[in-house]
Amino acid sequence: MPDLSLSEPFDEIDVEDTGEDELDPIELNLQKRNIHSDSSDLEIFSLYNKYRKGRLVIQPDFQRQFVWDDKKSSKLIESGLLDIPLPVIYLSEEKDGKIYVIDGQQRLTSFFSLIDGRFPDGREFTLKGLTIFPEYNNKNFKELPEEVQEKINGCTIRTITFKRESDGDLKYEIFERLNTGSVSLNDQELRNCIYRGKYNDLLRRLSENDDFRYLMGISMPDRRMKDVEFVLRFAAFYHASYLNYRAPMKTFLNREMEKYQFISDSDAVDLEKDFKKAVSVIRSLFDKQAFKRFYPGDERNPSGKWEPKQFNASLYDIMMYSFARTDKNKVYQNADVIREAIIDLMTTDHDFITAIEKATSSNKMVTTRFDKWRMALDAIVGIDEREPRCFSRKLKEELYDRDPTCAICGQRIQSVDDAAVDHIKQYWLGGKTIPENARLTHRYCNMARPRKEAAKISLEPEAKKN
């Protein structure tokens, strides 16, 4: 269970809500999937010995995750002394041969901390708030009478262990249902429990990359592991490609974790290299606007604007995927055109806009946005010597610095990103892509121009009749 009152600082990633999690949960075919489990009554001292030998793992980085206070932990110990049955502990046997605590971490940590004499954060553990045995208050384990120490060591607790050969999806579903704490674990925190191994460690390490954290808008780990989940999203599309994506996103990410749980060294090196390339390129191209939406103006207010805070997970997916695979030298050579292309898609292509706004984890929406961005980027990095269709950003900046007034509506353009360079004589009518045929407009006004001109043309015959 994540600790919400931590001494170590955390950040929180602000992600746009696009309804991604509104799809159906994992469907389970119980006739074809099996859970294998063992149940037994184990003494605390037996569990403690396995823990000390590294065979029983409470939770990675559990020092940040233990949330019970002295009194709550002490009350549990008192219940054991009174022979009150303790709640069942659920364990999972994994491929590395170790046994991991899925439900019961707080209880086991309380007992183990008393025996060790200290809590995970280093504080001394002395019993507090005991009402049946008040004579043991303010005593640590070694100060208790020997028979009381033996009683605590001999406390039995029912354990149910899910065996390694159990079906992965079904185990995930069971662990999710067991997750009934006061602060329920989210999907990535559950994966952190279930799919421990080299891959999980790699994802966590990549989430600490400086460029990645800059793009995410955080300086420290996200308190609910959303930063790690976004590294996983990149890795899942990187390995499987969007062509093999199948909704829902949760299952897609679970499959990735299960397949690469014990990732090979060569695969890990490739993934890390391309991840670092992608975040470095994206930071250079987009800086603070990376993964953010750009919204065009409208007829009442033609000024467009960048989303100030939240970033869009769909934009993250397509950018990370494409820039990990594209020659960075070609990207840098065409940086301005690439930046213009993504803004153009976000403001003029209605199918693309829908694909980053609604039901974004459906198969159709994922394919749509990846295909459209891939085609746009391929068209740019493969530019030949033919006459260009689009004006350069350099020209746009020169026009903006000279006069930031929209040539269509006459109002001031608030930012160069909201500006479009329009052909005075339309390209499709033979207009050249040269400075003499260029004018500066709002993106909205440029988009609305064909509609307005079409309306004007349709009214001309009526005007001539009159």
Which CATH homologous superfamily contains domain 393-465?
Answer: His-Me finger endonucleases (3.40.1800.10)
pLDDT at 387: 52
Q: For the chain, what is the radius of gyration of the CA atoms? A: 29
Q: What are the residues facing 11 on neighbouring strands?
A: 222
Quick one: which of 220, 219, 252 has its CA closest to 235? Answer: 252
Length of the chain: 466
Q: What are the residues facing 113 on neighbouring strands?
A: none
**Rounded Cα distance, 281 and 278, in Å:** 5
- Cβ-count burial of 75 within 10 angstroms (0-12 exposed, 13-18 middle, 19+ buried)? middle
Tokens of 216: 């995410």
Q: State whether the Cα torsion 269-270-272-277 is positive or negative.
A: positive
**Rounded Cα distance, 320 and 317, in Å:** 5
What element of type H or E holds 441? strand 438-442
DSSP string covering 22-56: GS------TTT----EEEEEEEHHHHHHHHHTTSE
Q: What angle do CA 250, 251, 252 make, to 5 degrees?
A: 90
**Domain spans in the chain, listed from the N-terminal domain onward:** 36-165, 393-465
pLDDT at 435: 86
φ, ψ at 305 (rounded to 5°): -160, 155
Q: What percentage of the chain's residues is helix, strand, coil (to nearest 5)? A: 50, 10, 40
Q: What angle do CA 102, 105, 109 make, to 5 degrees?
A: 155
**Rounded Cα distance, 276 and 314, in Å:** 19
Q: Is 149 helix (H, G, I), strand (E, B) or coil?
A: helix
pTM equals 0.67
Query: Side chain identity at 295, as an amino acid letter?
Result: Y
Residue by residue, pLDDT tens for the chain (466 residues) are 333 333 345 677 888 877 675 444 444 444 446 777 888 999 999 999 999 999 998 864 433 467 788 999 999 999 999 999 898 998 888 878 889 888 888 999 999 999 999 998 889 999 999 999 999 999 999 999 999 999 999 999 999 998 888 776 777 777 777 765 545 678 898 888 778 789 999 999 999 999 999 999 999 999 889 999 999 999 999 999 999 999 999 999 999 999 999 999 999 999 999 999 999 999 999 999 999 999 999 989 999 999 998 989 999 999 999 999 999 999 999 999 999 999 999 999 999 999 999 999 999 999 999 999 999 999 999 754 445 667 888 899 999 999 999 999 999 999 999 999 988 887 656 678 888 889 999 999 988 865 555 444 444 444 444 4
Query: Side chain identity at 361, as an amino acid letter?
Result: S
CA atoms within 13 A on the CB side of 301: 5
Q: Is 423 helix (H, G, I), strand (E, B) or coil?
A: strand
Query: Side chain identity at 79, as an amino acid letter?
Result: S
